[in-house]
Amino acid sequence: MDFILLSILKTAIAAPVLLGTLAYLVWIERKVLAHVQLRIGPSRVGPHGLLQPIADAIKLLTKEDFIPSYVNKFYYWLAPWLALMFAVTAISVIPIGPVVEVFGIKTNMGQADISIGLLLILGLTGMGVYGIALAGWSSNNKYSLLGGLRSSAQMIAYELPMAMAIVSPLLIVNTLNLREIVNAQAGYTFGILPNWNVLGGGLQIFSFIIYLICAFAETNRIPFDLPEAENELVSGYNTEYSSMKFAAFFMAEYCNIITACSVATTLFLGGWHPIIPNELGGQFIPTLVCVFFAGVLFYHALNPSRPSDRLSMGAIGAVILGLGLMFQVPGVKDLAQPLFWFASKAGFLIFFFIWVRGTVPRFRYDQLMRFAWLFLFPAALLNLLVTAFIVALKSN
């Protein structure tokens, strides 16, 4: 099939899914945060607030797009779309499954499969800082400017240990192509321990931790969300923004979280490979997980704490049960199971991001910088040296 036609088709599938995920990630974050803090969270729009993202989208679209008179118009307009564009583009090189055959067409699950995949992600996420820095500068507001400055300084500081942490597993898998990186992590040590880079593949646990810490800083998340520290800077770089421009920054941030978690999944957690070998029952785990959640929901449908739960819990439980059975349908199986593993690994990391937000307080800015340069960078360097030494010893 024509390459361009296939790419357009894939984009047509991936783009709505991505935007839907972004919208519902906000709902998930608010819900998880609420439960961490013993609140209920969004619950008014639809059952369990499930329609809240749609209401939010309508609100943001129809809100007045207010442009303050003192801003630098061109850059003020450019900044949010710059941030969003680079954030969305970076996702395109991430492989979410093996090469599959759908309707007789052989294709890889993922948009682009290129030899410099990882470098491209680093480059594009690095470009994303222009959006934030420009927003802060063009707003012509001291708080915004401080937010933009903090963001660029933070990005530069944390990109170094992040790159160092990425290089260590690369020494083991010996390629920059994300698909080959995942393929190198296939198989199991002693038939049970997965050959993921973080486990049996090379015990890259320190690289993984350093990468995760840096990912928090690169995506401007708590505990490193100094660019928008609301008790110091009102809302930081996006203080002067409203309507869709504000939403664009929001979407860019969530997009960056998805990218960071997907990269961690491909680099360290073995991408779409199951945690237990398929021969030992790994292929039944997706179904079992779905059946478990469906069971919990059915229980709540039969013992409702609110009258409306009887219907909503039951309906969602039935959907999840159907999803679980789908994982065993022969034709769909090869497509759905890798997706399940990739999504559950990346999804757990995203949950971890939200979890940390509900748990850890914010750093002070000097602490943030000292931590990056005096602890994280030397630690990443040491980790790289040890890994290189072991790889050199092994290859002899």
- DSSP category for residue 376: I
> Residues 6 or more apart from 176 whose CB is under 8 A from it?
115, 116, 117, 118, 119, 170
Q: How many Å separate Cα 124 from the centre of its chain?
A: 15
Q: Residues 163-182: x/- map of binding to other proteins (CB under 8 A)?
A: ------------xx------
From the CB of 131, what's the least distance to other proteins, in Å? 12
**In what helix (H) or strand (E) does residue 189 lie, and over which residues does it extend?**
strand 188-189
- Choice from 51, 112, 149, 167 touching other proteins (CB under 8 A): 149
122 binds other proteins (CB under 8 A): yes
11 binds other proteins (CB under 8 A): no
User: Nearest Cα to 151, choosing from 213, 215, 218?
Assistant: 218
How many angstroms separate the CA atoms of 323 and 286, rounded?
9
351 binds other proteins (CB under 8 A): no
Angle between helix axes 377-395 and 142-173 (nearest 10 degrees) is 10
- Choice from 8, 156, 280, 382 touching other proteins (CB under 8 A): 156
Stretch that binds other proteins, among 120-128, 189-197, 299-307, 323-331 (CB under 8 A): 120-128
- Choice from 145, 184, 257, 267 touching other proteins (CB under 8 A): 145
Tell me the two tokens of residue 147.
């937010």
Pick 46 or 126: Cβ nearer other proteins:
126
Pick 155 or 301: Cβ nearer other proteins:
155
127 binds other proteins (CB under 8 A): yes
Which residue in the block uniquely carries the two structure tokens 């970076």? 90
140 binds other proteins (CB under 8 A): no
Residue 277 backbone dihedrals phi, psi, to 5 degrees: -55, 145
Pick 124 or 215: Cβ nearer other proteins:
124
Q: Residues 74-93: x/- map of binding to other proteins (CB under 8 A)?
A: -x------------------
- Judge contact between 320 and 294, C-beta under 8 A: yes
- Judge contact between 294 and 318, C-beta under 8 A: yes
157 binds other proteins (CB under 8 A): no
Burial of 219 (0-12, 13-18, 19+ CB in 10 A): buried
Stretch that binds other proteins, among 94-102, 155-163, 206-214, 322-330 (CB under 8 A): 155-163
In order of 52, 54, 96, 258, 381, the CA distances from 87 in angstroms are 24, 22, 17, 9, 28
From the CB of 304, what's the least distance to other proteins, in Å? 53
How many angstroms separate the CA atoms of 367 and 30, rounded?
28
123 binds other proteins (CB under 8 A): yes
Pick 153 or 349: Cβ nearer other proteins:
153
How many angstroms separate the CA atoms of 361 and 117, rounded?
34
Q: How many Å separate Cα 94 from the centre of its chain?
A: 11
129 binds other proteins (CB under 8 A): yes
From the CB of 288, what's the least distance to other proteins, in Å? 41
137 binds other proteins (CB under 8 A): yes
Binding positions for other proteins, rule: CB under 8 A: 75, 114-116, 119-120, 122-124, 126-127, 129-130, 133-134, 136-137, 145, 148-149, 152-153, 155-156, 159, 175-176
